[in-house]
Structure 1
Amino acid sequence: MIRFEQVSVRYEGAGRPTLSGVDLTIPEGELVLAVGPSGVGKSTLLGAVSGLVPHFTGGVLSGRVTVGGRDTRTHKPRELADLVGTVGQDPLAHFVTDTVEDELAYGMESLGLAPDVMRRRVEETLDLLGLAELRDRPIATLSGGQRQRVAIGSVLTPHPRVLVLDEPTSALDPAAAEDVLAVLQRLVHDLGTTVLMAEHRLERVVQYADQVLLLPAPGAAPVMGAPADIMALSPVRPPVVDLGRLVGWDPLPLSVRDARRRAVDLRERLADVEPPEREAPADAAPVPLPEPAAPRPGLLGRLLGRRPAPSPAPAPLAGVVTRVEGLGVRHGRVQALRGVTLSVAPGETVALMGRNGAGKSTLLSTLVGTTPPTTGSVLVGGLQPSGTPPRDMVRRVGLVPQEPRDLLYADTVAAECAAADSDAGAPEGSCRALVSELLPGVPDGVHPRDLSEGQRLALALALVLTARPPLLLLDEPTRGLDYAAKARLVGVLRRLAAGGHAIVLATHDVELAAELADRVVILADGEVVADGPTRQVVVSSPAFAPQTSKVLAPRQWLTVSQVRTALEGLA
């Protein structure tokens, strides 16, 4: 179905090809998973199948890519639209209409399908992806995960023979991700659809793949084979595979079910060992917190030589960076939050979890002041965020949004970092050092829009961290990050927490929550339904438990690193 013949892609100004020597065939009716570290060319590989590379992205493509017999060099993306359906990393860039139902119908209308066929397929897709309740909603009002489901649905309705998906589950909650993957399985098995997807959250998808396509390094020739064989040599791998490699299982398990069957002996070895607690890294030096700016006297006060009157905002609460009491937020007819009460202490890391649309992003935007409360109160550093000028809030709270491009305005990475250093009053090079730590190898002169989604996220995070705000808010911080980049992120955030910074992150990444969070708060329909230590909350939840916990249940092991520490102690 898809044939690569000695394909290489080089972009203008790049020192080396992004892809080189790709020669392989993807058969019809298979689900092929492309894996590899961030920046190795997975998105370029996928774009070459849809014709976006090089017709839209530019660059020089040598060799030949054919899809269903059509040569992508001579067929532009619109001439492949009936054959190939594509969803990129950024759902917002995909949409052309305003409402969910119109977006699902648009692709079919462009292909000239009959109205009765369009209506039937829209209804089928609404049911398949759990979008029926959202059919009349404006896309602008949807959460990131809901938008991602709509984007996937819009390419399913024309019934393409090939689906190309870039990070299709990155913004989905665990249950929604399982639903989407079940739909893809049905398309592959029942309809013979060919699916080529790139995904960093391998714990979700690797067990469903017929073959895995590994891109080991930028410009290196890819390797394709059976999932277990490729995972044995891949530099990126899910926790269940990491656990299998740790204890020497052969063949390696790809799913929790396979691992549980193999883990009887391991559970017995660990029966008398208490899972170790997370510890702050030894090199975590305290980070000085910025002092709030002194209030300026009003005009009358300056004329009379008096000191400024006390601020009407409440004084900071001892031992608490932020406190939310009975918070309610309404967006038109939608009650996004109701009765939320939450406090976060210095040095504490809190993970907000819950299904798409539960109110996680709304809570973060309320804490940063961009969304005012409808009821209740919010205090950050003793100030009410929605009533405080942004220039005063930026020294108390920083937000990395789901769409990192919202923070990126300059033409180069170096210019973004220089502006961040200047805005934060930080020493020159502070932001650039953070970028290098989070994602090494990003050139100074590259334009932010030319970075991958994960690289843009790392840059946006570095911009916010440069100011060292006492409260750091992260909305889906691991979208587009491979396991190595995620480990570097965890290291940075742990050091910040050890230095007294409070961190609140909204995430669907259960492995990140298990590795990093002291506390997990689960939201459902805008309400807090669980709030407690990470072990207690995630282990008791089938949806939010990490893979290691599921394999070694009922004991409360959360990560492979905990198991490694325990086994080293028994040796």
Structure 2
Amino acid sequence: MIRFDHVSVLYSGSAAPVLRDVDLEIEEGELCLVVGRTGAGKSTLLGAVNGLVPHFTGGTLAGRVTVDGRDTADHPPRELADVVGVVGQDPLAGFVTDTVEEELAYAMEQLALPPDVMRKRVEETLDLLGLADLRHRALAELSGGQQQRVAIGSVLTAHPRVLVLDEPTSALDPTAAEEVLAAITRLVHDLGVTVLLAEHRLERVVQYADRVLHLPGDGTVADGAPADVFRGATVAPPVVDLGRLAHWDPLPLSVRDARRAAAGLRETLSGLPVPPVRPDVPARAPLLSATGVTVRYGDVIAVRAVDLDLLPGQITALMGRNGAGKSSLLWALHGAGPRHGGTVRHTPRTDEPAPPPAGVPRRAGGSRGLLRRRTPAAAQAGEVALVPQTPTDLLYLETVGAELAQADRESAAAPDTARGILDRLAPGIPGDSHPRDLSEGQRLCLVLAVQLTSAPRVVLLDEPTRGLDYQAKRALTGIVAGLAAEGRSVVISTHDVEFAATCADRVVVMADGDVVADGPTAAVIVASPAFAPQTAKILAPLPYLTVAQVEQALATAGAGQ
């Protein structure tokens, strides 16, 4: 179905090709998982399938890519639309109509299909993806999982033979992600659709893959069965990391298979003390106290009378399904978003702000341009900083250096204060780089540096792990832990249960605007199958949350013996 014949891709200004002499063949009805670190070339590989590379991205493509017998060099994307369907990371950004039914019909209208064929295919797609009850709903009113299914349906109505998906679950809660993956698996098994899927949250998708294409970052592509490829892959989900640590053979790819192999490991760990994921946070006066916070959008109550205390040195994970009210609560706590009831109080500073990192001068208050509108004095004085779901919304200048200098001016800080913070978070980013040319992780670090220049005592992060690979998330965990060690309180809204298990002291779960659970991480996330991390499921009833805990426990026991 898809053939890469010694394909290399070199972009202008690059010293080395992104893809180098790639030679592989993907059969009909296969679900191929594309894995690799950020910047390894996954998007280039996907884009080559429908001709976006090089017709729209530029660069030079050597070799030959054919899809269902069509050479992409001779067929631009518009001439492959009936064969290849592409769904990007943000489905809402790709919608061109207003309602579900209209969106499903749009691609067929562009292909000039007869009306009776269009009607039949719309009905088939509505049934296939479980969207029949939503056919007249406005796209903007749908949940993230529903939007993702509509995006997939909008390309399926053209009856493509190949479906290319770029991080289809990155913005979804665990339950919505399962719905989308179930729909994708059904397409493969029942309709014989060939699927290429790139995803950073491998713990969600690895058990569904027939084959894995691993991009190690040197331009090559390793191709093989999932268990074989993940033995030496540069990225791997926790279930694979645990299998590597325990030397299980064959390597398990699902929680079920891992539990069957883990009996001996559970027995070994049962008599060992469990290392803490995070040090205990001493009880101190909260930096921020929210009482009865309510947010409405018309007749819809997004946040309903929420009470929340944020303690110094504490990392709080805010979790819940899409549409639960997490982002609305963060904006209300910051002050830039609406709040229709309740109060948010900040404990007055009784001493100096948290000390800056070594070599970085002290900095005073301030706020960031786009968030300055409707922002109360407390936030503008440096009490609260917010990094939204799309950090690039706060970047509007031409270079990294200009952004950092502007942050110093807005915060009345000494020159190079923001630069010093950025070098601590992500060293080596050139000042003359354009912010839009940075990787997802680098852009996040840049926005964090900009926001931290005002020395906020409360830091709010809205879905910071979107687009980050496992290594980048480990770096972010270190950054967040450093902020907490300085005495700040950090709140992270996230659907990433593995990230929450690694870095959070406390988990707050929201549903329909209410707080339904609030407590220590181990107590809250393990109680729910949807939010439990893979390690907890594999080793239950032992109270382990991460592979790092298991490794530390085994190392300590070995040293003791």
TM-score (norm 1): 0.86
8 A Cα contact 2:302 2:512, kept in partner: yes
Query: Does the alignment pair 1:398 with 2:397?
Result: no
Please identify, of 54-63 and 43-52, the stretch whose mean Cα deviation from structure 2 is larger. 54-63
Matches within 5 A, 1:321-332: 321-332=287-298
Give the counterpart letter for 2:274 in structure 1: P
Query: Does the alignment pair 1:341 with 2:341?
Result: no
2:544 to 549, 557, 563: 557
Superposed CA deviations along residues 240-278 of structure 1, whole A, max 9, x for unmatched, are 111111111112111100100000011111112232213
Give SS of 1:329's match: strand
Matches within 5 A, 1:109-124: 109-119=109-119, 121-122=121-122
Q: Using the TM superposition, give the Cα deviation of residue 11 of structure 1 relative to its aligned residue in structure 2, in angstroms.
A: 2.0
Superposed CA deviations along residues 197-226 of structure 1, whole A, max 9, x for unmatched, are 111111111111111111101x43111111
1:379 to 325, 345, 360: 345
Superposed CA deviations along residues 108-156 of structure 1, whole A, max 9, x for unmatched, are 2222334455445445555655656655554445565554444333223
Matches within 5 A, 1:60-139: 60-119=60-119, 121-122=121-122, 125-126=125-126, 135-139=135-139
Matches within 5 A, 1:481-492: 481-492=468-479
8 A Cα contact 2:411 2:453, kept in partner: yes
Q: Which residue of 2 aligns with 1:253?
A: 252
Give SS of 1:532's match: strand
> Taking every aligned residue pair, what percent have the same amino acid on both sides?
63
Q: Which residue of 1 aligns with 2:219?
A: 220
* Unmatched tracts of structure 2, length 5 or more: 350-371
Query: Does the alignment pair 1:417 with 2:383?
Result: no
Give SS of 1:240's match: helix
Give SS of 1:520's match: strand
Query: Does the alignment pair 1:362 with 2:328?
Result: yes
Q: Which residue of 2 aligns with 1:470?
A: 457
Q: Using the TM superposition, give the Cα deviation of residue 426 of structure 1 relative to its aligned residue in structure 2, in angstroms.
A: 4.9
8 A Cα contact 2:145 2:177, kept in partner: no
* Unmatched tracts of structure 1, length 5 or more: 282-317
Question: Superposition RMSD on alpha carbons, in Å?
Answer: 2.7
Counterpart CA distance in 2 for 1:138 and 1:460 is 33
Q: Using the TM superposition, give the Cα deviation of residue 105 of structure 1 relative to its aligned residue in structure 2, in angstroms.
A: 2.7
Superposed CA deviations along residues 296-321 of structure 1, whole A, max 9, x for unmatched, are xxxxxxxxxxxxxxxxxxxxxx8222
Q: Which residue of 2 aligns with 1:32?
A: 32
Change (3 A) 1:48 1:461: farther
8 A Cα contact 1:438 1:485, kept in partner: no
Q: Which residue of 2 aligns with 1:306?
A: none
Q: Using the TM superposition, give the Cα deviation of residue 328 of structure 1 relative to its aligned residue in structure 2, in angstroms.
A: 2.2
Q: Using the TM superposition, give the Cα deviation of residue 10 of structure 1 relative to its aligned residue in structure 2, in angstroms.
A: 2.0
Give SS of 2:252's match: coil
Q: Which residue of 2 aligns with 1:296?
A: none
Give the counterpart letter for 1:461 in structure 2: L
Q: Using the TM superposition, give the Cα deviation of residue 189 of structure 1 relative to its aligned residue in structure 2, in angstroms.
A: 1.1
8 A Cα contact 2:100 2:137, kept in partner: yes
Please identify, of 240-249 and 6-15, the stretch whose mean Cα deviation from structure 2 is larger. 6-15
Counterpart CA distance in 2 for 1:427 and 1:194 is 56
Counterpart CA distance in 2 for 1:209 and 1:18 is 24
Counterpart CA distance in 2 for 1:472 and 1:134 is 37
Q: Which residue of 2 aligns with 1:243?
A: 242
Q: Which residue of 2 aligns with 1:11?
A: 11
Change (3 A) 1:213 1:348: same
Q: Using the TM superposition, give the Cα deviation of residue 7 of structure 1 relative to its aligned residue in structure 2, in angstroms.
A: 1.7
Q: Which residue of 1 aligns with 2:367?
A: none
Q: Which residue of 1 aligns with 2:271?
A: 272
Give the counterpart letter for 1:379 in structure 2: R
8 A Cα contact 1:36 1:215, kept in partner: yes
Structure 1 residue ranges, 4+ long, deviating more than 6 angstroms after superposition: none
Give SS of 1:212's match: strand
TM-score (norm 2): 0.88
Please identify, of 523-532 and 224-233, the stretch whose mean Cα deviation from structure 2 is larger. 523-532
Counterpart CA distance in 2 for 1:69 and 1:394 is 62
1:532 to 490, 501, 519: 519
8 A Cα contact 1:352 1:360, kept in partner: yes
Q: Using the TM superposition, give the Cα deviation of residue 358 of structure 1 relative to its aligned residue in structure 2, in angstroms.
A: 1.0
Q: How many correspondences in the alignment?
A: 533
Counterpart CA distance in 2 for 1:143 and 1:185 is 21
8 A Cα contact 1:144 1:402, kept in partner: no
Change (3 A) 1:436 1:380: same
Give the counterpart letter for 1:345 in structure 2: L
Give SS of 2:5's match: strand
